[in-house]
């Protein structure tokens, strides 16, 4: 049974590595979008990344993840969006970077896209 446990342990480790990798991707995406370098994403910075979205939609997405309601997303708020159920449902098939995954999930949850 030791072998079985070892296999299980390996799978668990792989899972953890994957989660860590996704966190890293997410943090890198955040940094890239944060052009002012203040560690907060405002509407303008998000608009630069999601040029296809209207400002109104972006504001809705921010408010969805904006826990302290300052109108901007901190790294923590940004990452916590990954815990959203819709995000977890989406993440398996999404081919885009972590940043887009998060916002696509939030959009879906808001019913802005079908």
Instruction: Supply the DSSP symbol for 34.
Output: -
CB of 9 to Ca ion, least distance (A): 38
Q: Compare residues 21 and 68 and give the one whose CB is closer to Ca ion.
A: 68
Which residues lie closer than 8 Å to 81 by C-beta, 6 or more apart? Answer: 64, 65, 87, 102, 103, 105, 106
CB of 80 to Ca ion, least distance (A): 10
Binding site for Ca ion (CB under 5 A): 66, 68, 70, 72
Q: Compare residues 40 and 94 and give the one whose CB is closer to Ca ion.
A: 40
């Amino acid at each position: 049974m030791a072998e079985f446990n070892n296999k299980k342990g390996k799978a668990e480790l792989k899972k953890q590595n994957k989660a860590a990798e996704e966190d890293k991707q997410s943090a890198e995406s955040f940094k890239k979008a944060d052009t002012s370098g203040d560690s907060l994403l405002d509407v303008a910075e998000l608009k630069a990344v999601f040029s296809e979205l209207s400002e109104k939609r972006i504001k809705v997405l921010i408010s969805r993840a904006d826990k302290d309601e300052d109108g901007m997303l901190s790294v923590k708020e940004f990452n916590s969006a990954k815990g959203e159920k819709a995000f977890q449902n989406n993440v398996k098939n999404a081919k885009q970077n972590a940043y887009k995954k998060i916002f696509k999930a939030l959009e879906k949850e808001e019913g802005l896209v079908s």
